């Protein structure tokens, strides 16, 4: 049987590196598109202030971009170091989108990012804007191909198991490419990145207004960020609804866990706004429900029921039984490839082969599993209900909060031309929340898929490399230390660039303590200007 401790440690290490990497991805995606908007204003108006604004935010984009590339490469190496059997089992499918991402998106991005930074004065305004567009396109294409790979892990279409090679192989690459789960994840994730960048630009700009510095840049940046943010926050909410629908079709355990729904609810299903999930009692205490909403999200109808966890577990027991039959037929085929009866039996049950592998947590040969072990394996299919339930609700709550913040910013700056100081403080203090929402989104997506590394195909505990627990702990500690140092460096560089502002300038010690003193950052002397001066 596999070493479950190594599997758990490898999961923790990958979670550490993936979530750290995802600190940089949303800002890269969003800032690249906002640079297109800002430089587009410079191209159309010819005003130097827009060039100055673009170059300033491009500096912050560049710092973030470098850290994102470095951490992303390290994360992908783990598929070979910590998840070798996973790479062997599905490498023909999973490797293709990652290879295309490197050849198409990363090289496109890396080629044009240099021209974007060093092409000022050497390229015409329209030509330089096109370069910036290529950088944004490369960033978003990179996200597309990575999410196609991840979407296939969530919903493995266009592929099947080959008994001769004992691996998963592509049968229809177009199905992999247009996987509905991957497409929903892409548009939702990219929109979340746009929200993150909008919140970042809004917070920095409001910080400048509060200190009476760089007022032209700040006010114009708020105009762009609030308008871009309203559209992005609205799209996150709408596209999140689409993610709920595809989950209702292909990932029923995840949807039921998000809702903490133990029993199948007759149509039209209600949405639990808040409550306290109790897995032991299989009940959600103090639940406040909104009628019809879950039915509309998960089934797009008012006459289809949404299955609860108890019924899904019962169905899983039957699928595990079919999986055992498929495993038995597979062993007979391996012993005698000409066995026609075994081939027929395998073809009839092959869709459930992965469910037999769930039993390898308990026995070496799934055919030797007891009824009690089959029941336990079926119960293992229930994800961490509390984590997915609360993670989803905090993520959604933050999304609606920023829709209100961006809407208020748009109203104050674009319509009233008067931004209250209380709103500036709210924008500054709320800046970290989109990152929290993005990380919670990944937690819901990945924890909700467990115990599968490929949904319905390969359990997570079978995908690991032949490593010892001490080896995984050593690398995990190393990653934690290195990433901690890189995070401090990145924060110092970003905060220093923000405090210097566009064009840099002389710096003086801040004084008064606080985070900036602890990091050793200085700030330029701030003129005592009215916040609405040009």
* Residues 6+ away with beta carbon under 8 Å from 237: 396, 399, 400, 403
Query: Between the CA of residue 505 and those of 34, 55, 352, 496, what are the distances in Å?
Result: 25, 15, 65, 11
Q: Where are the alpha helices (DSSP H) in 300-384?
A: 309-335, 340-349, 353-357, 371-379
Tell me, what's the pLDDT at 193?
Answer: 92
pTM: 0.86
C-beta separation of 444 from 392 below 8 A = yes
* Residues 6+ away with beta carbon under 8 Å from 371: none
Copy the structure tokens of residue 135: 């950088």
Torsions phi, psi for 278 (to 5 deg):
-125, 100
Could you tell me the end-to-end alpha-carbon distance of the chain, in angstroms, rounded to an integer?
Answer: 70
Tell me, what's the pLDDT at 453?
Answer: 92
Burial class (CB in 10 A: 0-12, 13-18, 19+), 266: exposed
Query: Between the CA of residue 112 and those of 70, 108, 127, what are the distances in Å?
Result: 18, 6, 12
Query: Between the CA of residue 417 and those of 199, 421, 513, what are the distances in Å?
Result: 19, 13, 33
Burial class (CB in 10 A: 0-12, 13-18, 19+), 297: buried
Q: From first to last of its 534 residues, what are the pLDDT tens digits of the chain?
A: 567 888 899 999 999 888 888 889 899 999 999 999 999 999 999 888 899 999 999 999 999 888 888 888 888 888 888 898 998 898 888 888 888 887 777 778 878 888 888 888 888 999 999 999 999 998 888 889 989 998 899 999 989 888 888 899 999 999 999 988 888 888 889 999 999 999 999 999 999 999 888 888 889 999 999 999 999 999 888 877 667 767 767 788 998 888 888 888 777 777 888 888 888 888 888 888 888 777 777 777 777 788 888 999 999 999 999 999 999 999 999 888 888 898 999 999 989 999 999 999 999 999 999 999 999 999 999 999 999 999 999 999 999 999 999 999 999 887 777 889 999 999 999 999 999 999 999 899 899 888 999 998 999 999 898 888 899 999 899 888 988 888 898 889 999 999 888 865 433 333 333 333 333 333 444 443 333 344
Torsions phi, psi for 286 (to 5 deg):
55, 35
Of how many residues is the chain composed?
534
Cα–Cα dist 8/6, whole Å: 5
List, as own/partner pairs, every contact residues 43-52 make where C-beta atoms lie below 8 angstroms and the sequence separation is at least 24, other chains included.
43/125, 43/126, 43/129, 46/125, 49/216, 49/217, 49/220, 50/220, 51/120, 52/217, 52/502, 52/503
Three-class DSSP labels, 240-308? HHHHHHHHHHHCHHHHHHHHCCCCCECCCCCEEEEEEEECCCCEEEEEEEECCHHHHHHHCCCCCCECC
Copy the structure tokens of residue 317: 């027991």
| 157 three-state secondary structure | coil
Of 319, 321, 426, the residue nearest 370 (C-alpha) = 321
| 384 three-state secondary structure | coil
C-beta separation of 206 from 428 below 8 A = yes
Tell me, what's the pLDDT at 517?
Answer: 35
Q: Which residue has the tokens 């949807």?
A: 255
* Helix%, strand%, coil% for the chain, nearest 5: 70, 5, 20
Cα–Cα dist 10/12, whole Å: 5
Q: Residue ranges per domain, the chain?
A: 4-251+383-519, 265-299, 309-379
Copy the structure tokens of residue 122: 């050497």
| 458 three-state secondary structure | strand
Tell me, what's the pLDDT at 75?
Answer: 81
Q: Which residue has the tokens 């923790």?
A: 12
| 454 three-state secondary structure | strand
Cα–Cα dist 233/433, whole Å: 13
| 155 three-state secondary structure | coil
Cα–Cα dist 131/135, whole Å: 6
Torsions phi, psi for 311 (to 5 deg):
-70, -35
* Residues 6+ away with beta carbon under 8 Å from 156: 93, 168, 454, 455, 456, 457
Tell me, what's the pLDDT at 528?
Answer: 36
268: cis peptide before it, omega within 30°?
yes
Max alpha carbon distance in the chain (Å)?
Answer: 87
* Residues 6+ away with beta carbon under 8 Å from 175: 157, 158
Tell me, what's the pLDDT at 522?
Answer: 38
Q: Would you tell me how many other CB atoms lie within 10 Å of the CB of residue 129?
A: 22
Considering only CA atoms, give the Rg of the chain. 26
Tell me, what's the pLDDT at 32?
Answer: 92
Q: Which residue has the tokens 């919903």?
A: 155
Tell me, what's the pLDDT at 183?
Answer: 87
Tell me, what's the pLDDT at 329?
Answer: 92
């Amino acid at each position: 049987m596999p070493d479950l401790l190594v599997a758990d440690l490898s999961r923790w290490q990958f979670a550490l590196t993936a979530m750290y990497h995802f600190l940089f991805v949303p800002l890269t995606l969003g800032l690249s598109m906002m640079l297109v908007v800002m430089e587009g204003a410079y191209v159309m108006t010819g005003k130097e202030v827009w060039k100055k604004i673009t170059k300033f935010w491009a500096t912050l984009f560049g710092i973030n971009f470098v850290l994102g590339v470095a951490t992303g490469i390290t994360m992908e190496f783990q598929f070979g170091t910590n998840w070798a059997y996973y790479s062997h089992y599905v490498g023909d499918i999973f490797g293709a989108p990652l290879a295309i991402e490197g050849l198409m998106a990363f090289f496109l991005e890396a080629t044009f990012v240099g021209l974007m930074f060093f092409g000022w004065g050497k390229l015409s305004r329209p030509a330089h804007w096109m370069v910036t567009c290529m950088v944004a396109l490369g960033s978003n294409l990179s996200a597309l191909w990575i999410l196609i790979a991840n979407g296939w892990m969530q919903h493995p279409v266009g592929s099947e198991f080959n008994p001769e090679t004992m691996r998963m192989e592509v049968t229809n690459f177009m199905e992999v490419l247009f996987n509905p789960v991957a497409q929903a994840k892409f548009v939702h994730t990219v929109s979340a990145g746009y929200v993150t960048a909008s919140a970042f630009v809004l917070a920095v700009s409001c910080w400048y207004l509060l200190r009476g510095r760089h007022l032209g840049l700040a006010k114009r940046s708020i105009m762009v960020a609030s308008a871009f943010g309203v559209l992005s926050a609205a799209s996150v909410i709408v596209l999140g609804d689409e993610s709920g629908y595809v989950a209702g079709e292909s990932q029923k355990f995840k949807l039921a866990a998000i809702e903490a729904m133990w029993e199948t609810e007759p149509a039209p299903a209600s949405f639990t706004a808040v409550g306290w999930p109790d897995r032991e009692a299989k009940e959600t205490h103090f639940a406040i429900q909104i009628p019809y909403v879950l039915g509309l999200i998960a089934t797009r109808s008012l006459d289809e029921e949404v299955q609860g966890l108890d019924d899904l577990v019962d169905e899983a027991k039957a699928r595990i039984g079919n999986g055992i039959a498929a495993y038995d037929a597979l062993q007979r085929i391996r012993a005698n490839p000409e066995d026609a009866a075994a081939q027929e039996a395998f073809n009839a049950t092959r869709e459930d082969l992965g469910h037999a592998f769930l039993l390898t947590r308990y026995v070496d040969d799934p055919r030797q599993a007891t009824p009690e072990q089959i029941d336990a394996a079926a119960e293992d299919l229930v994800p961490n209900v509390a984590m997915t339930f609360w993670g989803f609700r905090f993520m959604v709550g933050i999304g609606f909060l920023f829709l209100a913040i961006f809407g208020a910013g748009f109203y104050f700056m674009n319509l009233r031309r008067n931004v209250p100081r209380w709103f500036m403080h709210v924008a500054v203090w709320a800046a970290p929340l989109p990152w929290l929402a993005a990380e919670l989104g990944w937690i819901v997506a990945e924890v909700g898929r467990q115990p599968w590394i490929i949904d319905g195909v390969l359990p997570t505990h079978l995908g690991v490399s032949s490593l010892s627990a001490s080896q995984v702990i050593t690398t995990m500690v190393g990653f934690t230390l290195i990433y901690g140092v890189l995070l401090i460096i990145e924060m110092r560089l970003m905060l220093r660039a923000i405090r210097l502002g566009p064009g840099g300038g002389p710096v003086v010690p801040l004084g008064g303590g606080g985070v900036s003193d602890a990091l050793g950052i200085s700030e330029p002397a701030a003129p005592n200007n009215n916040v609405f001066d040009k």
